[in-house]
Structure 1
Amino acid sequence: MRVVIFCHSALSDWNHGNAHFLRGVATELAARGHEVRLLEPDGGWSLSNLLADAGPEALAGFHAAYPRLAPERYRLDALDLDQALDGAGLVLVHEWSDPALVRQVGAHRRRGGRYALLFHDTHHRAVTDPGAMAAFDLDGYDAVLAFGEVIRELYLRRGWARRAFTWHEAADTRVFRPLPGVPGEGDLVWIGNWGDEERTAELHEFLLGPVRALGLRARVHGVRYPEAARRALSEAGVAYRGYLPNFEAPRAFAAHRVTVHVPRRPYVLALPGIPTIRPFEALACGIPLVSAPWRDAEGLFRPGEDFLVARDGAEMARHLRAVLGDPALAAGLAARGLETVRARHTCAHRVDELCAILSALGHPVPGVGGCGPSAPETPVLSGTCPS
């Protein structure tokens, strides 16, 4: 099957977490023998910032980490949809796309396109900026893929889409996996962007305060840290290391003993059941995780077993002290978190779910058995799916 994915960027993950999951899904589809075409706008802000921050060598790192992917850049005013979508069986348009592109692809489908057309939403704007989401014209789309049940329900309740399915993000376990033998470099690592004031107070309470109180050797990676944030990190004794390519995160996890999850405020207050992709990736790397509060409304994990939950900064400090002081506790958390991800939350699981969704929409995936497991070391013929 030929799959076409329109996204803001697959080349760049600079302040662009949507790239993480899309890279994993595209790789999994390609490993199953599907022809995957990734299209992103030329001059997109994430790629422009990546090149300014990390230089062109960042793209060499991407190609080494994702050898099956070859993203193409397009200009919307010169995009030939007849050519781009020729022979497609599935077209997926991510919500961080230009509304004009979303509308044009829907119109192309209405003119006789025989492919399945899905809109993929992995952001909190449906709650925090509903006007922006209502501007998307989804006429011609078969359904919405929403990264949480609360988002799926919003699309249906507000009449933005006729059909919608919950399709959570997950870990790309080809990239995110334990790396034994990496030399230790510190106690705690946190990977994330400052957050446009969406979690400033939470970072002070659940990250900086506990690190300072316990005197931990801690490191932070991320972008868009204002001067005040960098000063706060320094005062807490936290080393700020700037941008880290997402595909290098497993090595950073392997070099540290624990990590934390600090969700942005919109997810805690209005989007229960959506943890974002960071916990999936950390747990897939086999590192103990302690999380600030979020409600696992959809039963994705086993809170208290796969990771510990801290209700406030004082409890975060107690949990971190316990994990760092008890090797058996740390090993048990790491093992159970890894077990849950591998059993339920890999990109392979999500591609299986995608195949089931396509069948429900009347677009069964070609190949014996519909969509079987990938064979990463044994290529299959394009247009088939291993049994």
Structure 2
Amino acid sequence: MTRSLDIVFIGLSLSSSWGNGHATTYRALIKGLRQDGHRVLFLERDVPWYASQRDLASPDFCDLAYYGDIDPMIDLHRDRLRRADAVIVGSYVPEGVALIDKLDKLEPKGLCFYDIDTPVTLAKLDRGEEEYLALRQIPIFDAYFSFSGGEVLTRLEKRYGARKAVALYCSVDETRYANTGEPACWDLGYLGTYSPDRQPTLDRLLLEPARRLPSMRFVVAGPQYPAEIDWPANVERIEHLAPADHASFYTRQRFTLNVTRSDMIAAGWSPSVRLFEAAACGTAVVSDFWRGLDELLPAGEALLVAQGPADVVAVLTELADADRIAIAAAARRRVLSGHTGAARAAELAQTLSKLPANRAYERISA
């Protein structure tokens, strides 16, 4: 175990999981840090969208503070930001570029970036879009923690100038994600916010199989789906599920579908948090394929890969229950042994504990 650390996160959201996967990722990670004796302050921009949909307004595993404008927030927390062992800014933080510049001038002991959207971030930067991170800022971070591993880490260092690129995959809170014992009521389900680049895969791997198997039951949970989508009659829609309901949702499926965004497929080594959550609940996963998937959950052993609707139909109609249960159990073992919030917290703390004690700052222009 590393020494006790004082860490400040400035992230998209911890309080609300509505329409984002960041909140559950931060929650599992920070709970793991707390269990290991580390101290955490999470700073969240107080925006109406999340303020009206908070499902964890007062966490018991860290300090959570909301802020409006950047300058008053930095003034209020200046001492904590400067004395913390690390200040970690997350992706998609509002006014992220300005925030990073101001934090750099503050000269914290360690300044890091946690990219929960690495392939999307790099695609944006390649197009000249600097929504929450500027290309010029990547070299200033003591560590660039990436949701993607594999070849992406080399790209971050060689092409984008990251000092130290480290994989910090998503994780699952094993105390909240476990089989509830409820009987299955859906044959195949999917949990995820609507995304235009994921929708064709969802159409191919869930909606079309539903049309071909009218006697089976399907479900799609998540917000922001356009009204014009033609849902088959045997596909149930759930607008939003709070994290407290996820375990029950996964347990009540025979199989769950994992769909990956196109930028993440192109990058590879980019597992979704839903992949680990479903596996922790003992639900067999059907997934699209991307490089690095076999290193996490080997196809045929710990999950099933589908390329088209015929593959899904075959899984739903031909795979024996004993085989489905064995695949789900293998995935659960792998996830609980290496992809929990506690495991990620240990990885993060180990990296932070090895950061240079006296950072030589390379000033960036404001």
Aligned to 2:165: 164
Deviation at 1:128, TM superposition (A): 2.2
- What pairs up with 1:185-204 in 2 under 5 angstroms? 185-195=185-195, 197-204=196-203
Corresponding residue SS for 1:145:
strand
Are 1:155 and 2:151 an aligned pair? no
| 2:12 pairs with 1:8 | yes
Question: Cα deviations across residues 147-188 of structure 1 (Å, max 9, x unaligned)?
Answer: 1134323321233422211221121212212222x2443322
**What is the aligned counterpart of 2:269 among 270, 273, 285?**
273
Give secondary structure in 2 for the equivalent of 1:253.
Answer: helix
- Once the two structures are TM-superposed, the CA of residue 322 in structure 1 deviates from its matched residue by 2.9
| Count of aligned residue pairs for this structure pair | 340
| Equivalence for 2:90 | 94
Matched, 1:249 2:246: yes
- The amino acid across from 2:212 in the alignment is A
CA distance in 2, matches of 1:289, 1:278: 10
Amino acid at match of 1:126: T
Q: How big is each residue's C-alpha offset from its partner over 1:30-72, in whole Å with a ceiling of 9 and x where there is no partner?
A: 1222221110111164x05xx2xx5xxxx3x4258x5324421
Q: What amino acid sits opposite 1:263 in the alignment?
A: T
Shift, 1:287, TM fit: 0.5
Instruction: Report Cα offsets for 1:264-295 as digits up to 9, x if no partner.
Output: 22222x21111221111110111111112222
- 1:376 aligned residue: none
Call closer, same or farther: CA 1:34–1:261 in 2, change over 3 Å. Answer: same
Paired residues of 1:187 and 1:218 also in contact (CA < 8 A): yes
Give the CA deviation at 1:359: 3.5
Q: What displacement does 1:116 show?
A: 2.5
Indicate the percent of aligned positions where both proteins have the same amino acid. 28
* Match among 323, 328, 344 for residue 350 of structure 1: 344
TM-score normalised by L of structure 1: 0.82
| 1:139 shift after superposition | 5.6
* Corresponding letter in the other structure for 2:162: A
In 1, the alpha carbon distance for the partners of 2:286 and 2:350 equals: 33
Deviation (angstroms), 1:136: 6.0
Deviations 1:356-387 (A, max 9, x none): 21233246xxxxxxxxxxxxxxxxxxxxxxxx
Structure 2 letter corresponding to 1:305: E
For residues 167 and 302 of structure 2, the distance between their equivalents in structure 1, rounded to whole angstroms, comes to: 22
Aligned to 2:362: none
Structure 1, residues 224-268: CA drift from partner, whole Å, max 9, x if none? Answer: 100122xx22x3521111011133211111122211112122222
The equivalences for 1:273-352 within 5 A come to 273-296=269-292, 299-323=295-319, 326-352=320-346
Q: Tell me: CA distance 1:331–1:211, structure 2 relative to 1, closer, same or farther (3 Å).
A: same
Q: Residues 177 and 285 of structure 1 are in contact (CA less than 8 Å); yes or no, is this contact kept in structure 2?
A: yes
CA–CA distance in structure 2, aligned partners of residues 321 and 70 of structure 1: 49
Query: Which ranges in structure 1 are unaligned for 5 or more consecutive residues?
Result: 364-387
Q: 1 CA distance for matches of 2:45 and 2:304?
A: 40
CA change 1:44–1:161 in 2 (3 A) is farther
Match of 1:40 among 44, 47, 66: 44
Aligned residue among 234, 237, 247 for 2:234: 237
Alignment of 1:118-157 (within 5 A): 118-123=112-117, 124-130=119-125, 131=128, 132=130, 133-135=133-135, 137-138=137-138, 140-149=140-149, 150-157=151-158
1:192 to partner: Cα distance: 0.8
Deviation at 1:4, TM superposition (A): 0.9
Aligned residue identity for 2:42? L
In structure 2, C-alpha distance between the alignment counterparts of 1:126 and 1:62, rounded to whole Å: 27
Q: Show CA shifts across 1:269-325 (max 9, x none).
A: x211112211111101111111122222671221211111112221121112234xx
- Provide the rounded CA distance (Å) in 2 between the counterparts of 1:15 and 1:307: 26
CA separation of 1:312/1:151 partners in 2, compared to 1, >3 Å: closer, same or farther?
same
Q: Given the two structures, how large is their TM-score scaled by the length of structure 2?
A: 0.86
Instruction: Assess if the C-alpha contact under 8 Å between 2:112 and 2:142 holds in 1.
Output: yes
Q: Secondary structure at the match of 1:129?
A: helix
Note if contact 1:106-1:139 (Cα within 8 Å) is conserved in structure 2. Answer: no
Output the CA distance in 2 between the equivalents of 1:139 and 1:159.
Answer: 8
Name the CA shift for 1:339/1:183 in 2 (closer, same or farther; >3 Å): same
Runs of 4+ off more than 3 Å: 133-136
Amino acid at match of 2:222: G
**Aligned amino acid, residue 28 of structure 1:** G
What is aligned with 1:179? 180
Q: Among residues 31, 34, 39, which one is paired with 1:30 in the alignment?
A: 34
